[in-house]
Structure 1
Amino acid sequence: MDVIVNNTPSLTGTIDALSSKNYTTRYLLVAALAEGTSTIYYPAHSEDSDAMRRCIQDLGAVLVEDDEKITITGFGSAPRPTGELNVGNAGAVLRFLMGIAALGEEITFVNTYPESLGKRPHQDLIDALEQLGAEVDHQEGRLPITIRGGKPQGGVIRVSGSVSSQYLSALLFLTPLLPQDSTIEVLHDLKSKVVIGQTLEVLEQAGIVIHASDDYMSFKVPGSQKYKPANYTVQGDYPGSAAILAAAAVTSSDVTVTRLMEKSKQGERAIIDVLKMMNVPLTHENNVVHVQGTGKLTAVEFDGDAATDAVLAMVAAAVFAEGTSRFYNVENLRYKECDRITDYLHELSKAGARVEEKQAEIIVHGRPEGVEGGVEINAHYDHRVIMALTVVGLRSKEPLRIKDAHHVAKSYPGYFDHLQALGANVEWV
């Protein structure tokens, strides 16, 4: 389905932030790796988190869910044999479970999104799993991927972090279960270090001990550990809320978003700081963000590596700022559901934005007067692109039609419902 976004002068109201997708998928996994029953309160519901639910059930976890919580009886270090796993279009779910697949005899991850996840690389993680003795069949590092794990023991593992931190997270989930101690050495650079902080936080809550260097470039992991059953509460999601907050910033608004922790380890919390730097009137107190937008913004320069999933929303806000904005150190945006630099900027240009790209930078020459719009744009099946383009549509003189906007459900199924509740003039077609 497509969505038409019409010019919307103002937004008003209060919404609860959706639950964090990143924390939900991690809590689901550590609960499945525990022997016993864990409870997760306020888990996210999205295509990605639902993919993790489906896959851990296929591997032997027992799930019971109601409106408030989900209880999970885990399979520990012994996943049930299963021929195939379908992670949908969820890259993090795929990579985390590739690590767990090393505990089993043979698992094939199928390719159901050849134009999105099917194009994304996983070679660095494959190389690391082969160091542990796993046999991996793959298509030049891409899906479909078959992993024959055998009995990995531990030891020294080297993994590149220059494309994605998800490879490292996968190893951090796996290695505590191996019989011997492990040392993980990160080669080259490590992208999105802040997300490793989230992984380590969840592992600690699950009773796992990992000794990390201050720069997250080396880890010592004691072997023969067991995940402990526990109770978890999922916090509000900054990556999805970034688009809502950007929408409030570019319009005349009085918008409140609740359940956003001030001290969250989510790197995308930086959306608050960036909007303040752009002179957007807002407060953040008691886990509540209150934006009183005027539609007037000033340009900003920002290192986006620690806030990857909020950068597109920041760029959307910068489209209407006075001056030239620069978002740098963002090359890993190229390796997501689509190339979130080239593909996204191409669509922004069609809508009338003045943007340019470098290999690891996005440059935005602001148009405070707004953009023309009046075109059909392709979001490339990417949920973050859909949300960010919608923000631009709110300040377009003519409507924007966003193709295949239903793919927003990958992370935020209720996104357009929330925007409509705030007064946004959007309609499905």
Structure 2
Amino acid sequence: MSSIEIRPGSYLQGTVKVPSSKSIGHRALICAALSEGNSTVENINLSRDIKATTEVLESLGAKFFTSKNSIEVTGTPKLNCSGKELFCDESGSTLRFLIPIALLQDEKVTFNGRGKLVERPLTPYYKIFDNQQLYYKNNNGLLPLELCGKIKPGVFNIKGNVSSQFISGLMFALPLLDEDSTIVIDGNLESRPYVDLTIDVLKDFGVSIVNKDYKSFIIRGKQRYCAKNYSVEGDFSQAAFFIAGGLLNGSVLCTNLRMASLQGDKAIVDIGKLMGGKITVTEKGVLAEKSALKGTDIDASQVPDLVPILTVLAALSEGQTIIYNAARLRIKECDRLQAISTELNKLGADITEKEDSLIINGVKSLKGGIVSSWNDHRIVMAMTIASMRAEEPVIIEDYKAVEKSYPHFYSDFTDLGGQVKEF
């Protein structure tokens, strides 16, 4: 197990070019792979999750030619799944997006993965398989998942409080069927921005989805994906860590961001300001400077990926913060509510974990110590930023989990002035 030591009190200063959005990257690659002809996906961060998606799509018949910051894709709407085992690594997006796509052909296919992905729930898909009498077999609810059958158009009922990835997965596949389909949402749809991103990228590749006020989505059949060149915008969920670093102890300018983005995690700017943070949006990017922060209440239902770093900010703010509507964080790469509260409390934070919320009483500083990554990239990055207000070094075990989404995170961190030692 690899560990990394972060020296306390780092002052981050300078400019960081934020990597491209992993969420949008997955979507663009899938659309390109389903298009007839050649596309180029530019400004893409080749994280482990993105590589998982390209490798599965390649197994299904698309072709990928990767250079430093772009991927050329030769797509095919006629996929070949027969007898294939599709390894999704630890990427939930890869698994949940591509299951419906694999069901576009009536061929046997097996999905597998590793780590926490093996046990992440797929219940909404199992209900669809049962309703459509599609063959499937799993290992007592765990991966590997063996499938055979062709998904049929119709009405698909999905609960609004489950992962939006199930909705997006259906949106990729259903337009290619011969007849129209409808996705009906049961209850209030959480993580709406991720569905918005899917619809937006699909539109760029020539596929239309009609959004009926997030209560239902109308999907016309017999559509075709159109190959194109696509540039992936910067990732606000990754920028959030360096915005937080600037607010805690620094002056950091995050570039490669588009303020007109549909990404829900751009809410980091408004939440940071609400907490008293000095954040300035300029033509160059988002500038975050050292600030005296105050606690506030935060609804996590639309921004679950921000919770680990928002918990760090709250732990070092004056007063109390309550992060609520956060139950779905328990079924991410790890139980993120338990992980972030446990590890920050080891460093001297004052966090109480509830079933679907965190109650955080701010402290002036943290102490040092050894913490676990829980094999979760966002926990690694959050604990690294927390070390900036620690009195002693912070050692993070199994820190290479960061490669899941941001392989050069520590290179950017040290370029800004962070001091680390690997061992």
Alignment TM-score, normalising by the size of structure 1: 0.95
Matches within 5 A, 1:24-39: 24-39=25-40
Map 1:145-294 → 2, pairs under 5 A = 145-150=145-150, 152-214=151-213, 216-251=214-249, 253-286=250-283, 288-294=285-291
**Aligned counterpart for 2:304 among listed residues 302, 305, 308:** 308
Number of the residue aligned with 2:379 = 385
Which residue of structure 2 aligns with residue 134 of structure 1? Answer: 134
Q: Deviations over 1:3-33 (max 9, x none)?
A: 1122124211111011110111100001011
Give distance in 1, aligned partners of 2:274 and 2:78. 47
For structure 2, the 5+ residue unaligned runs are none
CA distance change for structure 1 residues 61 and 357 in 2, over 3 Å: closer, same or farther?
A: same
TM-superposition CA deviations, 1:155-210 (whole Å, max 9, x none): 11112232211111111111001111111112244221111000110111111111
Q: Which one of 390, 402, 405 corresponds to residue 399 of structure 2?
A: 405
Give yes or no for the alignment of 1:372 onto 2:370. Answer: no
Check conservation: 2:352, 2:359, Cα contact below 8 A.
Answer: yes
Distance 1:389 1:350 in 2: 11
1:298 counterpart SS class? coil
Does the 8 Å contact 2:199/2:208 carry over to 1? Answer: no
1:326 aligned partner, one-letter code: I
CA contact (8 A) 1:64 1:70 kept: yes
CA distance in 2: counterparts of 1:145 and 1:189, whole angstroms: 29
- Structure 1 moving runs of 4+ over 4 Å: none
What is the rounded CA distance, in whole Å, between the counterparts of 2:31 and 2:404 in structure 1? 21
Counterparts in 2 of 1:129 and 1:287: CA distance versus 1, 3 Å: farther
Q: Does structure 1 retain, via aligned residues, the 8 Å contact 2:159–2:185?
A: yes
Q: Residue 70 of structure 1 aligns to a residue in which SS?
A: strand
Residue aligned with 2:343, SS? helix
- Indicate if the aligned counterparts of 2:245 and 2:252 stay in contact, CA closer than 8 A: no
Task: List per-residue Cα deviations over 1:193-232 (Å, max 9, x = no partner).
Answer: 1110001101111111111111x12111111111111111
Residue type at the aligned position of 2:376: D
1:36 is paired with a residue whose SS is strand
Structure 2 CA distance for partners of 1:22 and 1:107, relative to 1, 3 Å: same
Q: CA deviation at 1:322?
A: 0.5
Is residue 13–residue 422 contact of structure 1 (8 Å, CA) maintained in 2? yes
Counterpart of 1:78 in structure 2 is 79
- Classify 1:200/1:61 alpha carbon distance in 2 versus 1 (closer, same or farther; 3 Å): same
The equivalent residue for 1:7 is 8
User: In 2, Cα distance between the equivalents of 1:118 and 1:208?
Assistant: 31
After TM superposition, give the deviation of residue 78 of structure 1 in Å: 2.7
2:117 partner amino acid = L
- The separation in 1 between residues aligned to 2:258 and 2:339, in whole angstroms, is 32
- Measured in 1, the distance between the counterparts of 2:56 and 2:83 equals 10
Supply the distance in 1 between the matched residues of 2:204 and 2:51 (Cα, whole angstroms): 22
Conserved 8 A contact 1:48-1:410: yes
State the one-letter code of the partner of 1:34: S
**Structure-1 separation of matches of 2:170 and 2:10:** 48
Q: How many residue pairs are counted as aligned between the two chains? A: 421
- Which residue of 1 is the match for residue 414 of structure 2? 420
**Cα distance in 2, alignment partners of residues 140 and 299 from structure 1:** 43
Q: Does structure 2 retain, via aligned residues, the 8 Å contact 1:262–1:285? A: no
Distance in 2 of aligned mates of 1:301 and 1:256: 26
C-alpha RMSD of the superposition: 1.4
Cα separation, 2, equivalents of 1:76 and 1:21: 23
Q: What does the per-residue CA deviation read over 1:89-123, in whole Å, with 9 as the maximum and x for residues that have no partner?
A: 0001100111111123011012322xx11121111
Which of 339, 342, 352 is the matching residue for 2:338?
342
How far, CA to CA, are the matches of 1:319 and 1:9 in structure 2? 17
Q: Return the alpha-carbon distance in structure 1 between the equivalents of residues 78 and 197 of structure 2.
A: 22
Whole-angstrom CA distance in 2 between matches of 1:334 and 1:424: 30
Residues 404-425 of structure 1, C-alpha deviations (whole Å, 9 max, x = no match): 0001000001111111111012
**What letter is aligned with 2:271?**
V
Distance across 1 between alignment mates of 2:188 and 2:83: 35
Q: Is the 2:243–2:287 contact (alpha carbons within 8 Å) kept by the matching residues of 1?
A: no
Query: For the residues of structure 2 that align with 1:191 and 1:135, how far apart are their CA atoms?
Result: 30
Stretch moving more, 78-87 or 388-397 = 78-87
Q: Do 1:131 and 1:157's aligned partners in 2 also have CA atoms closer than 8 Å?
A: no
Between the aligned partners of 2:123 and 2:52, the Cα distance in structure 1 is: 22
2:134 counterpart letter in structure 1: A
